[in-house]
Amino acid sequence: MGDSVSSRELFLQEKPAGVLLAMRESEGSAYIAKLAEATRCTYAHAFRVIEKLEMLGLVSSSEQGRVRMIKLTDLGKAVADELFKLSSLMALVEASNAIDRLYDAEIRGKLREEIDKEKFLGKAEELAAALEEILKKAPTEFHGLVKKEMKRLEELKLEVKGIVVGSPSDGGMSAQR
């Protein structure tokens, strides 16, 4: 997303959260090498992160031959589930901000004839695909929020195409937040 700050990086340390989320995706257990690969860090860095998570009681480890198996504890699973929810919500925040930036760059203050429709619609389709992906992965409790952003984007697409959106009571401005 360019120069924008990732919400997840702002609120959480990327690698420990990534390890917990990767373990959640692997159904609660994984080898260190797989976790390092999933979080795009070195084995040594993943090992240090896992040691810290183990000290916090979020993971446990056991030797299986020459490899070390890491498992989420019940507390670690609860934390990973909450991180997943937060991560989903932050992905939605980023998509919502991308819609705002697209509106500001391509529509705000322009006459309909001045809008590069193909450019806008192409970017809008990319955002729609991102929202669909968020909808697939997000907990059901966030589906209403995702659908609201999808509707907002769809209204902007209709506005660009010259189709009036909104009701007379809101002045046809429901496409804007």
Write out pLDDT tens, residues 81-137: 999 999 999 999 999 999 999 999 999 999 888 999 999 999 999 999 999 999 999
Model confidence at 168: pLDDT above 90:
no
Least confidently predicted of 32-36, 46-50, 80-84, 166-170: 166-170
CA 63 to chain centre: 34
Least confidently predicted of 18-32, 49-63, 76-90, 154-168: 154-168
Domain 7-72 is found in CATH 3.40.50.450 = no
Model confidence at 171: pLDDT above 90:
no
pLDDT confidence of 174, banded at 50, 70, 90? very low
CATH 1.10.10.10 range(s) for the chain read 7-72
H-type alpha helices, the chain: 7-11, 14-25, 32-38, 43-55, 74-106, 117-137, 143-160
